[in-house]
Structure 1
Amino acid sequence: MCGICGIYLHDNSSTIDGELLKSMADIIRHRGPDDEGFHFDRNLALGMRRLSIIDLARGKQPIYNEDETIVTVFNGEVYNYLELREQLQKRGHTFTTASDTEVIVHLYEDMGEECVHQLRGMFAFAVWDKRHRRLFIARDRLGIKPLYYHTVIGKQLVFGSEIKSILRHPKVKASLDLDALNNFLSLKYVPAPQTMFEGIKSLPPGHTLSCDSHGINIRQYWDLSFTNNDHPRQREEVYAEQLEELLRESIKLRLRSDVPLGAFLSGGIDSSTIVALMSQIMDKPVKTFSVGFKQENGITDELPYASLIAQQYKTDHHEIIITARDFVDMAEKVIWHLDQPIADQATVATYMVSKLASQHVKMVLTGEGGDELFAGYARYSGERLSPLFRLIPKSIKSLAQMVNNRTTGLRRQRIALNALCQVDEAQRFATWFPLFNHDSKQALLTPDLQNKFNGIAGNQAFAQQLARTDATEPLNRMLYVDTKLWLPDYLLLRADKLSMAASLEARIPILDHKLVEFAASLPPNLKLKNLTRKYLLKKSGRKLLPKIIIDRKKKGFPIPIYKWMENEARPLIYDTLSPAAINKRGLFNYVYVEKLIKEFESGTTEHYHHLWGLISLELWHRCFLDSQ
């Protein structure tokens, strides 16, 4: 695991300032505190920071092929590197290290840009082909590892694992992308290829970028297909066994490491299943790490469930309790590490449990992806019900919607009803993700932005993804959209940036692309059976986990943020959302912001979502725009 960065000049006669590249690498030192490395070749420069996981002594980067005409810097892990290495050696390639990175240069020698199809893992890497003076960049299929880039007036390409690295370049100015702001206010996050920074793009998952004197070319090399289901229909028990075997294999591959490792354990079905299988595979206790939250009446969260699994499998278990003070103190630091605001209250918890784990191990397995592959969210049940809801006469639905929108409290129920009322598929999907709905967003914005942001943001991103999928069944279409948007641009962004902030590698076995493709090939009723979500994953886990873990209601991170914002975190509201702060940005109508604050103070607890989104945005401005 590393952080990478680089600069390519379209003018072959120009050279690159070595101090600039070092500065770009230094600011992401947290991604790789163990080592640094650089490569310069006139108009091309590559840099990296290394977190040593495999071949600690010899796996330094950049890594070269035999005649040093191919060089790479690499962030991530290639889990099938031993198998690839054996094949490459049989074809005559000579290896000088035992690292997974070295297979990339030799694969590229043999296959060029098609080498990405051979890689099983998480990655964002850059290859410099000196023979053709071409830069080749690739990002893994699901978007576990990030990669950002910026073109400087068509004269150069600047890229990095984190946006803050790109911002070190003197020709790159930090400025707000208003279209991205529009998306953020609707969706809670910014969908790729946009970022919150004008002119800085995120390379989408499953894409490559090549750059030479002729220009830049971006192409997609992988997509999730729901039509590759030519296997014969099996009994449920057979599918469950296949799922367990694929997950077991994925975990075994991700246990390849030369450093101590462990797992995050929330007490949910995904992380609990991973810990159970790790315990069966490993010959020593799994080190597990959990987070809880301190409230006035004690601790009410997921820790008892995590402890139950830890006791059952005799793990070496560690817990951390987060207070409101931690939440306030860490809020701005977390936004800096994320590069972009996401309206997510779990960010501080993710960062602090990563810090805890980094005191004991250098790598953890985590449970992201189970909900998006196997239909774990309530919105999937809602999508199953939407055809029935559309049979209700329009007049009755309109009345229900009107009453619904004037009701305070019951936020999730109101979101569900609004979503079910939508006929348009993209609109319906987007309605499940509101930070601000259309009316509240219009009230929030200044008149100029009201005119610019006409319509609800998320629709376009959702419509684009729906147009690309080969899925025909409504559930699979929704799973595709979540796999392309919510998963990489919200969940995986959080997982990567906040584990790397603690110099900790996070590996995600559920998102092995072979397992992802298997899940896509399953009949929809094995993911959502009647209204039972994650049906097959639960069936597979019943012989591993207690019934209470399998059958309990999904909670996520049960953070008591609204209580904290009523009390210890209230000064954060007054600081970040003061009249001076709001007016300085020139984006929002302070009268409406003040209304949200007053209603929150009078008991409208749902406004903590709105307020935290606005607080995150203001902290982002302070971290990145004010600093320039």
Structure 2
Amino acid sequence: MCGIVGIFDIKEKREINRELLSRMNESQFHRGPDEGGLHVEAGLGFGHRRLSIIDLSSGQQPMVSHDKNAVLTFNGEIYNFLELRKELEAMGYIFQTHCDTEVILYGWQAWGESCVDRLRGMFAFAVWDRDKQTLFLARDRLGVKPLYYAELANGQFIFGSELKSLKEHPELPKILDPRAVEEYFGFGYVPDPKTIYKNVYKLEPGYCLTLKRGGKTYQPRQYWDVKFTPRSLKDEKATAEELIERLREAVKIRMVADVPLGAFLSGGVDSSAVVAIMAGLSPDPVNTCSISFGDPAFNESKFAAQVADRYHTAHRVEQVDPDDFSLVDQLAGLYDEPYADSSALPTYRVCELAKKQVTVVLSGDGGDENLAGYRRYRWHAYEEQMRNWLPDVIRKPVFGLLGQVYPKADWAPKIFRAKSTFESIARDSMSGYFHSVSVLSNGLRRKLFSEQLRSDLQGYQAVDVFKRYADKAPTESPLALVQYLDIKTYLPGDILTKVDRASMAHALEVRVPLLDHKLVEWMAGLQPEIKLKGREGKYIFKKSLENYLPDDILYRPKMGFAVPLAAWFKGPLKNKMRESLLGENISQCGLFNQTFLQQIVNQHQSGLRDYSAPIWSLLMFEAFLRNNN
């Protein structure tokens, strides 16, 4: 795992500022503390920070081909590099290293842009072809590895693994994009391809980008998409057995490393499944780690210990202080743009713990999106039934009225919080699903935003992100559609961003077998009814694991990394919250309604309303503004 940067002169071969390139590269030192390298020639500069995982003694980057015609800077791991290497050797290519980097380099020379179709792994890379005067960039299919880019007014194209590397360039205009602000307060992150800045972008998962020197235009091209085309259903037992075999293969190819390797073990289904499979493939005890919480409502450590005992892992667990909010200010520097998933705090801590043991870990991320594990999928299915049963002329006014008059009861048990459900059913399918996942509802955002910001948005709404993907979704299934939306937005924008930044802050590589693209393609073809069966999400996955994990792991309610935000903002963070939301950075940016901000603060601290989600989102936005100055 590494960090990459680059500067490319689109128009001509002007000299590249080596010192600037070095600053951009060193801003990502944490991603690759083992080695750093630069390549500079007329009109082009590449930088690389290396975290050595395979072939520790060679494989330095940027890497130049034998004929000096191609240069590569690469972040990630290619798991099928040995078979690709054999194919390239048969074509006459001679290798000097034993690493996957060289395979991409000669893969480009042999196959051109189609080289990306052959790669199995997580990656973001740039290759410069001197003969063709072409710069080619690509990002892996699911977006495990990040890649940011921008074209500057001076004719330079810059890119990097993290936004902070681009911000080192003095010509980068850091102008906030109003639509990105709307999306952030809708989703809690800025979905690809936008960033918080105008004219700065993320290359979307499954996309590549080709630039030619002297060329006037360039456009990202999609080379892969997940297809939800149902296959003929085998019997349940055969499907479950095949799922385990495919998972075993995805895990096995991710256990190759020349450094210590382990796994996250939360005690949930997905991480427990990965550990169970690893244990069956490893002659030595698997290194596992987890963190525990003082609050039993969020504490899965006893379930993690149960799995660790069953598979005799070398397990480490540390308890996180329920008031561990010391990282709040640090997160802004970690994520570079506003990011409101509070589970980033415990994720940072579990990565910190893992690094004490290992350099590479396997995680269980991706199971919920691919196998319909989130509770919101079940609720969406119920709501879709209501939409199908009742015509719009009845459903929208009736449930719209119920949503208006039903009291908002933040204090009540979830079963009595019907207001949000009524509001969702009154909407169409896309707007309803967005309402169920949004951090701030449409109404809250309207109240929160200033008149100027509402004017600048010109009617644009965050739900348009969903509509853009829904228009090209390769499925007619309501369940598959919302899975597709999450794979395109929540998975790369929230989950994978969280893990990448938290792990790279500790120079820790995280591999994700449940996001192996071959496994993802196979799972996408499973019938929806064996993913979500009645009230049971991930049904076929859980059935396949019954010989590997106990029922109280497989069939208990889903938990997660949660932090006690509501209590923090009434207690230890009370003053910090008030200073941040009512201070100069927020008031002077001109984006927010100051009267409503005061109302949020007062009502939350009095206990009248639970505004913890909007408050955390604002707190992270204010920290970003401070970090952006």
TM-score range, shorter chain: over 0.9
Residue 202 (1) aligns with residue 227 (2)? no
The structure 2 residue matched to 1:356, chosen from 344, 353, 357, is: 353
The structure 2 residue matched to 1:402, chosen from 380, 401, 404, is: 404
Is the alpha carbon distance of 1:418 and 1:434 closer, same or farther for their aligned partners in structure 2, counting shifts above 3 Å? farther
Q: Is the 8 A contact 1:65 1:106 kept in 2?
A: yes
Q: Is the 8 A contact 2:209 2:221 kept in 1?
A: yes
Q: Which residue of 1 aligns with 2:382?
A: 385
Q: Is the 8 A contact 1:419 1:429 kept in 2?
A: no
Q: Which residue of 2 aligns with 1:24?
A: 24
Matched residue of 1:3: which SS? strand
Q: Which amino acid aligns with 1:554?
A: K
Q: Which residue of 1 aligns with 2:243?
A: 243
How many angstroms does 1:47 deviate by?
Answer: 0.4
Residue 222 (1) aligns with residue 224 (2)? yes
Residue 578 (1) aligns with residue 582 (2)? yes
Q: Is the 8 A contact 2:143 2:204 kept in 1?
A: yes
Stretch of structure 1 that moved more, 561-570 or 605-614: 561-570
In 2, Cα distance between equivalents of 1:280 and 1:605: 50
How many angstroms does 1:299 deviate by?
Answer: 8.6
Q: Which amino acid aligns with 1:15?
A: E
Q: Which residue of 2 aligns with 1:319?
A: 317
Residue 478 (1) aligns with residue 475 (2)? no
The structure 2 residue matched to 1:533, chosen from 534, 537, 548, is: 537
Render the CA deviation track for 1:124-168: whole Å, top value 9, x for unaligned. Answer: 000011111111000000000000001002711000000000011
The structure 1 residue matched to 2:619, chosen from 589, 592, 615, is: 615
How many angstroms does 1:325 deviate by?
Answer: 4.9
In 2, Cα distance between equivalents of 1:239 and 1:455: 47
In 1, Cα distance between equivalents of 2:597 and 2:478: 37
Q: Which residue of 2 aligns with 1:308?
A: 306
The structure 2 residue matched to 1:523, chosen from 527, 538, 553, is: 527
Q: Which residue of 2 aligns with 1:253?
A: 253
Structure 1 length as normaliser, TM-score?
A: 0.95
Residue 553 (1) aligns with residue 561 (2)? no
Q: Which amino acid aligns with 2:215?
A: H
Q: Is the 8 A contact 1:382 1:420 kept in 2?
A: no
Q: Which amino acid aligns with 1:257?
A: A
Stretch of structure 1 that moved more, 570-579 or 178-187: 570-579
Q: Is the 8 A contact 2:189 2:340 kept in 1?
A: yes
Q: Which amino acid aligns with 1:269?
A: V
Q: Which residue of 2 aligns with 1:35?
A: 35
Q: Which residue of 1 aligns with 2:170?
A: 170
How many angstroms does 1:579 deviate by?
Answer: 4.0
Is the alpha carbon distance of 1:425 and 1:398 closer, same or farther for their aligned partners in structure 2, counting shifts above 3 Å? closer
Q: Which amino acid aligns with 1:460?
A: D
In 2, Cα distance between equivalents of 1:474 and 1:502: 40
Q: Which amino acid aligns with 1:301?
A: N
Query: Residues 408-557 of structure 1: matches in 2 within 5 Å?
Result: 408-410=410-412, 413-414=417-418, 416-418=420-422, 420-453=424-457, 455=459, 457-557=461-561
The structure 2 residue matched to 1:606, chosen from 589, 603, 610, is: 610
How many angstroms does 1:18 deviate by?
Answer: 0.5
Render the CA deviation track for 1:295-346: whole Å, top value 9, x for unaligned. Answer: 5xx895111111111111111111222225532x211212211122221111
Render the CA deviation track for 1:52-100: whole Å, top value 9, x for unaligned. Answer: 0000011211122221211111000001111111221122111100011
How many angstroms does 1:411 deviate by?
Answer: 8.9
Stretch of structure 1 that moved more, 577-586 or 529-538: 577-586
Q: Which residue of 1 aligns with 2:83?
A: 83
Is the alpha carbon distance of 1:132 and 1:258 closer, same or farther for their aligned partners in structure 2, counting shifts above 3 Å? same
Q: Which residue of 1 aligns with 2:371?
A: 374
Q: Which residue of 2 aligns with 1:184?
A: 184
Q: Is the 8 A contact 1:293 1:559 kept in 2?
A: no
Query: Residues 65-104 of structure 1: matches in 2 within 5 Å?
Result: 65-104=65-104
Stretch of structure 1 that moved more, 400-409 or 534-543: 400-409
Render the CA deviation track for 1:344-393: whole Å, top value 9, x for unaligned. Answer: 11111111111111121111101110110011112211221123323354
Q: Which amino acid aligns with 1:96?
A: Q
Q: Which residue of 2 aligns with 1:594?
A: 598
Matched residue of 1:101: which SS? helix
Q: Is the 8 A contact 1:418 1:431 kept in 2?
A: no
Residue 332 (1) aligns with residue 348 (2)? no
How many angstroms does 1:423 deviate by?
Answer: 4.0
Render the CA deviation track for 1:94-126: whole Å, top value 9, x for unaligned. Answer: 110001111001111110000001000000000
In 1, Cα distance between equivalents of 2:40 and 2:419: 53
Q: Which amino acid aligns with 1:218?
A: P
Render the CA deviation track for 1:269-290: whole Å, top value 9, x for unaligned. Answer: 0000001111111111111111
How many angstroms does 1:447 deviate by?
Answer: 1.7
Q: Is the 8 A contact 1:324 1:569 kept in 2?
A: no
Stretch of structure 1 that moved more, 459-468 or 594-603: 594-603
Q: CA RMSD in A?
A: 1.8
Matched residue of 2:290: which SS? strand
How many angstroms does 1:415 deviate by?
Answer: 6.9
Stretch of structure 1 that moved more, 404-413 or 602-611: 404-413
How many angstroms does 1:597 deviate by?
Answer: 1.6
How many angstroms does 1:186 deviate by?
Answer: 1.3
Is the alpha carbon distance of 1:292 and 1:563 closer, same or farther for their aligned partners in structure 2, counting shifts above 3 Å? farther
Structure 1, unaligned stretches of length 5 or more? none
Q: Which amino acid aligns with 1:195?
A: T
Q: Which residue of 1 aligns with 2:112?
A: 112
In 2, Cα distance between equivalents of 1:455 and 1:137: 34
Q: Which amino acid aligns with 1:125?
A: F
Q: Is the 8 A contact 1:139 1:204 kept in 2?
A: yes
In 1, Cα distance between equivalents of 2:544 and 2:178: 45
Structure 2 length as normaliser, TM-score?
A: 0.95
Is the alpha carbon distance of 1:224 and 1:517 closer, same or farther for their aligned partners in structure 2, counting shifts above 3 Å? same
Matched residue of 2:560: which SS? coil
Q: Identity across aligned pairs (percent)?
A: 38
Aligned residues: 620
Q: Is the 8 A contact 2:125 2:138 kept in 1?
A: yes
In 1, Cα distance between equivalents of 2:27 and 2:454: 37
How many angstroms does 1:456 deviate by?
Answer: 6.9
